[in-house]
Amino acid sequence: MENKPVLNRREVKRQKTAKTIKGAAARIVIMTAVLLIASLAVLGINKLTDYIRAKNYRALSDEEIAYALVRGEEKEAENADASSEKRLELARAACSIVGKVNYFWGGKSSAAGVDPAWGELREVTSSGSESSGQVRPYGLDCSGFVSWAFIQLGYSFSEMETLLGNGTWNQWDRSADIAYNDIRVGDVAFMNRYPTDQGNHIGICIGFLENGEPVFAHCSSSYDNVVVTTRGTAFNYARRPNIFN
């Protein structure tokens, strides 16, 4: 039988120290990896959060949306004219797909009601976006959402293109400047004034908060869905679609 070597106290202490150092090093490596993964996750969250904060708007709850619609109906009753019924119908149509349709750069729809193509995985073929070339659930972009909402009033796609326009530039061109104090349900608002090289965003006024602030339904890239939000810095220019003139 082979005899095991007898270790002196110094060697035993050295081996224990080596094991302790090796264990500590392993724990440091693991903790570093965990912190790195957590940092990357936070970076992604912060990027989205910063984008939303840059627009400085807040998404409304279902209860707030319901209240805003009622306030919109009340204000239209005070200023009723030939366009009031269509304005309220437009607001209801816009709110009917809140939280149900993804943002899709270049997304359009001529459907009356829910488009069966929404949610299908498709490549983003329109250029000019960080999402271009990616495969995403099909939905609407901001101007496509506005076009779809107006189609729900009974217009065909070609009629909508003529009366309202397709794309934010055409929708700007087929609307007129109004003061924010004069905004009504169904009016639209833009982020930037044309001509602009900064891109643009559009939403539909669907009602008002208790303090009288208008709120807007829009298909938001930052929320990746249709939302109703406060004005923030996303809706700086109020305009009245020619359809209502």
How far is it, in rounded angstroms, from Cα 81 to Cα 88? Answer: 12
Q: What is the pLDDT of residues 45-57, one digit of tens each?
A: 344 344 444 578 9
Task: Indicate if 83 and 51 belong to the same structural domain.
Answer: no
How far is it, in rounded angstroms, from Cα 121 to Cα 61? Answer: 28
Task: Indicate if 4 and 77 belong to the same structural domain.
Answer: no
Task: Indicate if 38 and 144 belong to the same structural domain.
Answer: no
CA dist list (Å): 239 to 2, 108, 190, 214: 95, 22, 8, 13
3-state secondary structure of 218: strand
Structure confidence at residue 18 as a pLDDT band (50, 70, 90): low
Task: Indicate if 187 and 97 belong to the same structural domain.
Answer: yes
Task: Indicate if 88 and 194 belong to the same structural domain.
Answer: yes
Task: Indicate if 50 and 74 belong to the same structural domain.
Answer: no
Average pLDDT over the chain reads 86
Q: What is the pLDDT of residues 87-133, one digit of tens each?
A: 999 999 999 999 999 999 999 999 999 999 999 999 999 999 999 99
Q: How many CB atoms lie within 10 A of CB 124?
A: 20
Segment among 2-16, 59-73, 154-168, 195-209 with least mean pLDDT = 2-16
Task: Indicate if 42 and 119 belong to the same structural domain.
Answer: no
Task: Indicate if 83 and 35 belong to the same structural domain.
Answer: no
Higher pLDDT, 147 or 6: 147
Task: Indicate if 80 and 7 belong to the same structural domain.
Answer: no
Domain that holds residue 37: 1-55
This prediction's pTM: 0.78
Q: What is the pLDDT of residues 152-181, one digit of tens each?
A: 999 999 999 999 999 999 999 999 999 999
Residue that terminates a domain, selected from 32, 55, 78 = 55
